[in-house]
A = this chain, B = another copy of it.
């Protein structure tokens, strides 16, 4: 009984477990992830995945780890210009774009139910990296203004930007927003509106700069 490509074994099987697990999560939610179902779909015994992962949580931790790594990479991807303000704005847009392009990964990272970070230290490495990308952008921004990049101030500003972006995105994905009886136009324009406000709060002049839309 071979359900997928049969020859999967060794490292291939490990990789196949991860993709199949992601497929299950994508289709039925993280709480429905079952290693037995993964094994069933791959046509292997129910214990085969345990040769590559110590537990169900270890599978999840690896998926989350990769999601954070992708996320950090996405934040790094916009090329630097000589204008730190537009660079910072571009990073904000990259943040929102990633959240919309990969809602599943985003939900996994920030959705709440993730394995104990203490038990899976490598899982959060990408999270730290991503935050440091934001920190660095703000340091450049402050330096370009001739301001002293005070460590505490940078951290506060970075946290504010981070939390605003997270708030925007997570609000758009929360079930709650579907029940708020919003005017459709309000929802569509919200992201641009919010990004502009965050930019303004950070002292970035966004006059005339195009901010991305992206409904839903």
A residues contacting B by CB (< 8 A) are 29-31, 107, 109-114, 117, 124, 127-128, 131, 151-152, 155-156, 159-160, 162-168, 170-171, 174-176, 178-183, 185-187, 189-190, 193-194, 197-198, 200-201
Question: How many copies of this kind of chain does the complex include?
Answer: 2
Least CB distance from A164 to B in Å reads 5
Closest to A168 in B: B163
Q: Please name the residue on chain B nearest to A176 by beta carbon.
A: B127
Instruction: Find out whether the CB atom of B113 lies under 8 angstroms from the CB atom of A186.
Output: no
Closest to A130 in B: B176
Contact check, B159 vs A194: say whether CB atoms are below 8 A apart.
yes
Tell me whether A113 and B114 are in contact in the complex, defined as CB-CB below 8 angstroms, given that A156-B186, A179-B124, A179-B128 are known contacts. no
Q: Which 4 A-B pairs have the closest CB atoms?
A: A167-B167, A163-B167, A155-B186, A111-B112
